[in-house]
A and B are shown apart, each in its own frame.
Chain A
Amino acid sequence: MNKDPLVAIEDISFDLKRGDLVSLLGPSGCGKTTFLKIVAGLIPATSGTVQIGGRDVSQPHPDFGVVFQQANLMPWRTVINNVLFPMEILRRRDADAVARATELLGLVGLSGFEQSYPAQLSGGMQQRVALCRALIHRPTLLLMDEPFGALDELTRMEMQDLLLDIRAKTGATVMFVTHSISEAVYISDIVVVFSKRPAVIADYIEVGLPYPRSAELRYSAAFTQLEHRAGRALGITR
């Protein structure tokens, strides 16, 4: 009755420089989330290794921050206590941590909501709290799994600008999973395009557009060309 195991990811190998924002772009079910979870150490790889900073990643690393598609906030904690959750687990909750949480909430425009409960916030605001929570312990790598996928288009674009702003201010290295071509091109230094299962790298696009990026960029020729290239790699356009 045993089925053959599903090979989600065949051979994925790429470099990630400190401070880079890399998007993993691919169709749904292509294994990009699986890949991210392997990097996060949440599920083991059946073969092969993932090395970050020369270290083998086979179990969760507390110096990574993770943001999921759902905000996953704890309804029983206030906003600031949700942000401070990682610091509690790492036993580093002190005055500095609280100050940093307050600062991060300010960066994402949530000053004044510290004592609110998640149920009182909109979806976009909840995801911003989740972003602060992922950054609170100064992770060396921020892993984001379709973090804006559940948001409406306008909130989504707002969040993309917010992410770029936060990255400029914190210098975080980001690995970002998405299935939106424009999102990948807009935010990334590098777009890694995954093919259908079993996933292999279909294209490795160095975006090269200057930061800070603004909404006008989305309508430029260079931007459209990059989108087109990603679309070709995905097999959508020729």
Chain B
Amino acid sequence: MMMREWRTALYPLIGVFGILVLWQVYVVAFGVSRIVLPGPLDILRASVENWQILLRESWPTFVESVLGFGLAVVIGIPVAVCVANSRLLNLTLYPILIATQSVPKVAVAPIILVWFGLGLQSKLVIAFLVAFFPIVVDTAAGMRATPTGLLELARSLRASPLQVFLKVQFPAALPFIFAGSKVAVTLAVIGAVIGEFVGSLNGLGNLLLTANSQLDSPLAWAALIWLSVLGIVLFAAVVIAERIVMPWSEAGH
């Protein structure tokens, strides 16, 4: 048991370390320019030397992602509940939702920048737009997937629609909501970076662009890695929230 846990942590680490070693050997052996492809050691050095800048620029990206994701949860779940429970709203809203989803967010970003400016709001809106869809779709699917046996049980007790929703439908949909949230939170980071690329004053995306334009590839790569870490941290936060909210999902295993 302990042995297996230990292995699940060790093997991926060995894999990552192996790739880093190969990468470093390749860069040194073939004398690849640092501008074209910096080695892992260059990137590590750039990370350590610029840790204050990286940390400072992570904060706006973090805030944009989290707020955009939060807004997607707060608006997306009620929308999904309405869509799933009302045939009229489903017919009215669902095609619009699908249509907006098929619009490339990168293409909309410049317009949103015109509307909301270079600051936080525009990034928040773009992060929200990309995170919104998976939450709505998964939550709506969860609302419709309530086991019929549970609905019959509630009906046999003459439960009110509100009781059915709060005590049966919603808890039954939680696994779906979290599945959507895990996808949405990583998309929110991407949305924030898209916003920063199109026009921004700060953030990791902004730093990455700046470093790239100055041919400071190690710093650009360092910013990229910090971005990935940010995404992983936010994903892990959702997983932890899932375990806290749904302790029973662990119970069967």
Segment of B40-48, B61-69, B110-118, B167-175 in the binding face = B167-175
Within 8 A of A (CB), among B224-253: 246-249, 251-252
Which of chain B's residues have a CB closer than 8 A to the CB of A72? 147, 149-150, 152-153
**Contact, CB under 8 Å: A117 / B251:** yes
Residue of A at shortest CB range from B159?
Answer: A89
Bound CA–CA A23/B53 (angstroms): 77
**Contact present for A89 and B248 (CB under 8 Å):** no
Bound together, the chains give a CA A66 to CA B154 distance in angstroms of 10
Q: Is B100 interfacial (CB-CB < 8 Å)?
A: no
Given that A74-B150, A89-B163 are contacting pairs, would A40 and B156 also be in contact in the complex, using a CB cutoff of 8 Å? Answer: yes
CA distance A70 to B148 in the complex (A): 11
A117 to B247, CA, bound (A): 9
B150 touching A64 by the CB < 8 A rule?
A: no
Main secondary structure of the interface of A (DSSP, over half): loop
Look across to chain B and name the residue whose beta carbon is closest to the beta carbon of A119: B252
Partner among A41, A60, A74, A117 whose Cβ is within 8 Å of the Cβ of B168 = A74
| CB of A63 to closest CB in B, whole Å | 10
Residues of the A chain whose Cβ atoms lie less than 8 Å from the Cβ of B154? 89
Flag whether B158 is at the interface (Cβ < 8 A). yes
Residues of B contacting A: mostly: helix
In contact, B149 and A120 (Cβ under 8 angstroms): no
Q: Within 8 Å of chain B (Cβ to Cβ): is A219?
A: no
CB-defined contacts of B251 to chain A, threshold 8 Å: 116-117, 119-120
- The closest CB in chain B to the CB of A78 belongs to B248
CB distance from A131 to the nearest CB of B (A): 13
- Interface assignment of A168: CB less than 8 Å from any CB of chain B: no
- Contact of A75 with B159 in the complex, beta carbons under 8 Å: no
Closest to B170 in A: A76
Tell me, yes or no, whether A155 is within 8 Å of chain B by CB. no
**Interface presence of A62 (CB below 8 A):** yes
Q: Is the CB of A66 within 8 A of B149?
A: no
Q: Are B158 and A60 in contact (CB under 8 A)?
A: yes
What's the nearest-Cβ distance from chain A to residue B223, in Å? 41
Decide yes or no: A119 and B248 within 8 Å by CB, A60-B158, A90-B157 being known contacts: yes
Does B155 sit within 8 A of A, measured CB to CB? yes
Interface centre among A41, A59, A76, A90 (most CB of B within 10 A): A76
Please give, as numbers and ranges, the residues of chain B lying within 8 Å of A68 by CB-CB distance.
Answer: 149, 152-153
Q: Which of chain A's residues has its CB closest to B153's CB?
A: A72
Chain A residue nearest in CB terms to B249: A75
**For the complex, is A86 an interface residue (Cβ under 8 Å from B)?**
yes
Task: Name the distance in Å between B78's Cβ and chain A's nearest Cβ.
Answer: 21
A11→B201 CA distance, assembly (Å): 79
Closest chain-A Cβ to B244's Cβ sits at a distance in Å of 13
Specify the chain B residue showing the minimal Cβ separation from A59: B158
Contact A42 B156 (CB under 8 A): yes
A76 CB contacts on chain B under 8 angstroms: 171-172, 174, 246, 248
Query: How near does chain B come to A65, taking the closest CB pair, in angstroms?
Result: 8
Q: In the complex, which residues 87-102 of chain A have their Cβ closer than 8 Å to any Cβ of chain B?
A: 88-90
B171 CB to nearest A CB, Å = 5
Question: Which residues in A have their C-beta under 8 angstroms from that of B153?
Answer: 66, 68, 72, 85
Write the B141-185 contact mask toward A (1 if CB under 8 angstroms, else 0).
000000101101111111100010001100110100000000000
Q: Which residues of B contact A90 (CB under 8 A)?
A: 157
Q: Is the beta-carbon distance between A85 and B252 smaller than 8 angstroms?
A: no
Separation in Å of the B154 CB from the closest CB of chain A?
A: 7
Q: Which residues of A from 36 to 94 have beta carbons under 8 Å from B?
A: 40-42, 59-62, 64, 66, 68, 70, 72, 74-77, 85-86, 88-90
Between-chain CB contacts (< 8 Å), 9 pairs: A60-B158, A68-B152, A75-B252, A77-B248, A86-B157, A90-B157, A117-B247, A119-B248, A120-B251
Given A70-B149, A85-B167; 18 other pairs, CB 8 A cutoff:
A60-B157, A62-B157, A66-B153, A72-B147, A74-B150, A74-B168, A74-B171, A74-B172, A76-B171, A77-B248, A85-B153, A88-B167, A89-B154, A89-B158, A117-B248, A117-B252, A118-B248, A119-B248
Lowest 6 CB-CB distances: which A-B pairs, in order?
A119-B252, A72-B149, A117-B251, A117-B248, A89-B157, A76-B171
